[in-house]
Amino acid sequence: MAQQEFIIERYNPDTDESYEESFNVDVQPGQTVLDSLNAIKWDQDGTLSFRMSCRHAICGSCAMKVNGQSMLSCQTQVDAAAERGDPIRVGPQGNQNVIKDLVVDVNKFLNQFERAETWLEPYEDQEPPEREYRQKVEEFDHWSHASTCIHCGACYSDCTVAAVDENFLGPAALAKAYRFVMDSRDSKREERLQFLSEEQGGIWDCTRCYMCVQACPKDVLPMDAIMELRTLAIEAGHVNNHGVRHHKGFMSGVRKRGRLDEMMLPVQSVGIGRLLTGNLAAHKEMMDYTPGAIRLLKSRKLLTIAQRHGANADGREQIERIFEEVEAEKHHHDVDAEAFGAEFETAIGGH
Amino acid sequence: MLQHDVLIVGSGLAGMRAALEVSSDPTLDVAILSKVHPLRSHSGAAQGGIAASLGNSAEDSWDLHMFDTVKGGDYLVDQDAAEVLTREGPENIFELEHMGCAFSRDDEGRVAQRRFGGHTAPRACYAADRTGHAVLTVLFEQLLRRGVKVYSEWYALDLVVKDNVCQGLVAYDILSGQIEAISAKAVMFGTGGYGRAFRVTTNAFASTGDGVVMAYRAGIPLEDMEFVQFHPTGLQGSGILLSEAARGEGAHIVNSDGFRFMEDYAPGRMELAPRDIVARAEQSEIEAGRGVTALRDSVFMDLRPIGEERIRYALPSVLHLARDFAGIDPLDAPVPIQPTAHYSMGGIPCDINGQVRIKDLDGAPEITGFFAAGEASCVSVHGANRLGTNSLLEAVVMGRRAGRGILDVVHDLEPTSIDEGDMANAVGEVDHFLTADGSQKVGEIRAELRDTMMDKCGVFRDDAELKECLSEVKDYQERFKHISIDDHGSTFNTDLLDAIELGHMLEYSEVITTGAIARQESRGGHARRDFPDRDDENWHRHTLAYRPQEGEDGPRLEYCAVNMEPRFREPFPLQERTY
């Protein structure tokens, strides 16, 4: 029987003391990190606190950081976590306040679902069918990955946006919102797309770092869902918002000059039209960019007008070709809007 | 004192379905209390499906479903309850579907259905192999939509009953360590099963029979506790569930000779015989030396006959579980499995409206304002052995019925109250554990208890082993009086909760064993080597175990009749149960 060292980040709420503590545990082949935490709790130190319940990766209780990454401790083999015999570091999830040891306050994460109203809103103006709504296998298969979320919070814990933005809805709530946008039984598709486009912390705040997809112990693919929501929102005409303007400004800059145009981007994001019509809020948004712009200027990150020439003619031609090719390609997740509408009708009609 | 009209303890399928029903009356204040966040409830671990005779895949009917259920339960099933369960099944499924449940679909876009053990038609509606998760999620979403108050991570300590009227609950806020009284005109328990007392189990750490024991301590007898279902396909060692859906999709079970031994035990159904029969067959093969792996304590389940594409599509969780928890890829190799304690057929006796009552006493409720549903209850729709996919159905159908049962009476119930004296037991219990300074350890006693129950009150039982089992359980109870715990803090003290839960496990283990010793026959999940046959003349009846009074040495056993009076058809007469 081998021994494995665990270094656990602990927090004692009674003394408000944070510290690391090391434990040695006898490990058998097949033993998980959760088994090891239980061995510590039951045989060495009963004061160690953590959440757990099902121990087979479905209840979502035991997500924590193992060697710096969020994962379900029940699903993580000691052998896999212990590289080269190093100690295994175990700590609480990120982006949430620690209550005690490995227990965090999950309300901040779970409240995002309520904010995004991630539940089915049935059609008010009609009775549901006598039997089930019909949903094609292909339709179900398209979004069902997003329904496998076990709300463990691993994605939120490791989300780089949630780390800096309290308002961010986060990967899990957005993926769940996507699941209802895609579900033909839901009556609030339009309202959802509008909310997700315009809400502070909605779909446009994701930075596409991919940490959520990496952390997710299931098949949710939150970032893919967020990207598809963006496409759907634009298709649905929700374009008059900061996120879309930023997105388009970013693209037009690259297309025109072959590089990011930091000078114009804020103006385009806030909206030239809004600025020209004297929209006060828009001018305030511009003012908010000023400190950042000054910092960029000082560190020579913001190009002056004289430096904004960008790519040469050949380069621009190539860039244009890339854009054309991408535009010709259909997004792999793209849904044919017309076909969706037809299916929608059938589904609502039930049998 | 906190106050609600209706308080539901437990946030699995039964509890949430009941809460949803009660919340349809906007004049009522309903709350759910659970020791885990609702989304962590163990209903979410159910994998294979939820039964209902939708007839989407093949012709089916509720009375065929009812017959399968009655026979599957070895005729200990109350037929009024099985009738309700199966007749109301389809409308409950459609209701879940209308709420947005992510059911898998067939080629016509309807809810897909597949085969399951003991069911003669393909009637398991499923969401891949995470059906419980899909239903649990959708019920929680709808509760959020309704804005139902949830006491999340609150631990119920004590059920308060005065003069046969339920007053409410004393509960412990796990976050703050505060003990609070919560009064309610109606309380419902949907607190789940009691499988944690066995070493090899599919059950979550949380499945410690808390509600069952609280009811028992409040003077309510427990029904049919000796009937514990061992699921035939637990992962070797950990007992983690591999869904019966694997067999429904066509997996084979073989012994060390590579022989599909179900041929010898249930040739008509092979691997799709009911769970008690397959589990006993496995145990017999293992005991005859035909087990596999170095330990010879398991048999093989081979998924490869299903085919890779279908495994990936219909059984993704089974695939992942075998890989992550046993290090075996079912696409390449068979998986070692063994019987694992899975489902508690017994529980708090109640009628088909969820009202807790002692059967056979002319219908009058024993305790006003107390309801139960789901695995914690014993209606009894499962009798001596539950069929796969009937548990989710029971939780939903009976949860809804209990909700309606509450709606029917709650407006006529008087407000209740809980005073300091009523809280004394709960306060005393917590205080005792926080200050106890004995030398015994919770973890050690619990491990020994689980060994004892598994080895001496398991798949097969006999008088001598059961008596040893009982005596060992009593020893553990004695040692438990002399424990101490490490954590004396007030914030998220899981050490304290472990101690309280062990107290519950010790108490109900005695009830299971006592009932098992007395029942000198074999029926469903209760298999006696010394009494291998079913004995309808003496034992076609439910066990009721009362908590010992002063001077009594153990639970007092009484018995009541099995209901044979369905409303809409003739009862199914007792027959020999062969497959």
Kindly determine whether residue A47 and residue B324, on different chains, have CB atoms separated by under 8 Å.
no
Partners of B223 in beta bridges: B347, B544
Tell me the C-alpha distance between B8 and A345, whole Å: 39
- Mean pLDDT for B15-25 is 98
Instruction: Please count the structural domains in chain A.
Output: 4
CATH classification at residue A113: 1.10.1060.10
> Does A350 fall in a domain?
no
Looking at the structure, tell me whether residues A32 and A97 fall in a common domain. yes
Q: Which residues pair with B182 in a beta bridge?
A: B2, B169
Residue A99 binned pLDDT confidence (cut-offs 50, 70, 90): very high
Residue B358 is predicted with a pLDDT of 75
For residue B28, what pLDDT is reported?
Answer: 98
Answer with the one of A53, A75, A104 that is the final residue of a domain: A104
Contact of A138 with chain B, judged by CB distance below 8 Å, is answered with no
If you search the block for the tokens 């239980």, which residue do you land on? A38
A22 CA to chain B: closest CA distance, Å? 18
Q: Which of B450, B369, B466, B465 is nearest to B417 (CA)?
A: B369
Predicted local confidence at residue A337, as pLDDT? 46
The CA angle B350-B276-A35, to the nearest 5 degrees, is: 90
Query: Same domain, yes or no, for A19 and A137?
Result: no
- Residue A78 has a pLDDT of 94
Instruction: Kindly tell me the sign of the dihedral angle through the C-alpha atoms of B122, B126, B129, B132.
Output: negative
Say whether A42 and B442 touch across the interface (CB within 8 A): yes
Rounded to an integer, the average pLDDT of B127-150 is: 97
Residue A351 in domain:
no
Does residue B94 have a pLDDT over 80?
yes
Assess A43–B contact: CB distance below 8 Å, yes or no.
Answer: yes
Same structural domain, A39 and A149: no
Helix ranges (H only) for chain A are: 33-43, 78-81, 107-115, 137-143, 154-157, 171-182, 189-198, 211-215, 222-235, 242-257, 265-270, 272-276, 280-298, 313-328, 337-349
Q: What is the pLDDT of residues B257-293, one digit of tens each?
A: 999 999 999 999 999 999 999 999 999 999 999 999 9
The proportion of chain B whose per-residue pLDDT surpasses 90, expressed as a percent, equals 97
What's the average model confidence in pLDDT over B538-566?
Answer: 95
- Mean pLDDT across A150-176: 98
Claim to verify: residue A231 and residue A135 sit in the same structural domain: yes
Closest CA to B205 of B443, B484, B492, B510: B443
CB A322 within 8 A of CB A222: no
A171 shares a domain with A125? yes
Whether A61 maps to a domain, the answer reads yes
Contact B108 A134 (CB under 8 A): yes
Å from A250 to nearest chain B CA?
Answer: 37
What is the overall mean pLDDT for chain A? 90
Residue A8 lies in a domain: yes
Number of residues that make up chain B: 579
Return the higher-pLDDT residue of B364 and B248. Answer: B248
Same domain, A117 and A232: yes
Measure CB to CB from residue B104 to each of A52, A60, A140 and give the nearest one. Answer: A140
The last residue of one of the domains, among A220, A238, A256, is A238
Looking up residue A100, the CATH number of its domain turns out to be 3.10.20.30
Cβ distance B513 to B472 under 8 Å? no
Q: How many CB atoms lie within 10 A of CB B383?
A: 30
pLDDT at A300: 77
Q: Which of A104, A124, A155 is the last residue of a domain?
A: A104
- Which structural domain, as residue segments, surrounds residue A136? 107-238
pLDDT of residue A113: 98
C-alpha span between A185 and B203 (Å, rounded)? 34
| pLDDT over 70 at A332, yes or no | no
SS3 B251: coil
Structural domain contains residue A166 = yes
- Helices B62-72 and B79-87 meet at what angle, rounded to 10? 140
| B497 three-state secondary structure | helix
* Residue A292: both structure tokens together: 């950042």
Candidates A207, A203, A225; CA nearest to A216 is A225
CB-based contact A58 B44, cutoff 8 Å: yes
Confidence of residue A307 (pLDDT cuts 50, 70, 90): low
Bridge-based pairing state of the strands B222-223 and B154-162: unpaired
Residues A135 and A232 in one domain: yes
| A47 shares its domain with A165 | no
Q: Does A29 lie in the same domain as A89?
A: yes
On whether any CB of chain B is under 8 Å from the CB of A130, the answer is yes
Judge contact between B67 and B572, C-beta under 8 A.
yes
The whole-number pLDDT of residue A333 equals 42
Which of A132, A147, A151, A188 to mutate against chain B (most B CBs within 10 Å)? A132
- Quote the pLDDT of residue B362: 56
Whole-Å CA distances, B30 to B9, B145, B354, B402, B416 = 11, 14, 17, 13, 15
Mean pLDDT to the nearest integer, B371-380:
98
The DSSP symbol for A215 reads: H
Cα(B498)–Cα(B494) distance, integer angstroms: 6
Neighbours of A311 (CB within 10 A): 15
Q: How far apart are CA A336 and CA B521, in angstroms?
A: 63
Per residue in B385-417, pLDDT tens?
999 999 999 999 999 999 999 999 999 999 999
Q: How many CB atoms lie within 10 A of CB B561?
A: 11
Question: Tokens representing B394?
Answer: 């029971």
Percent share of chain B, pLDDT over 70: 99
Using CA atoms, how far apart are residues B76 and B82, in angstroms rounded to an integer?
11
Residue-level pLDDT at B144: 96
* Contact across the interface for B490 and A100, Cβ inside 8 Å: no
Cis bond upstream, residue B380 (ω within 30): yes
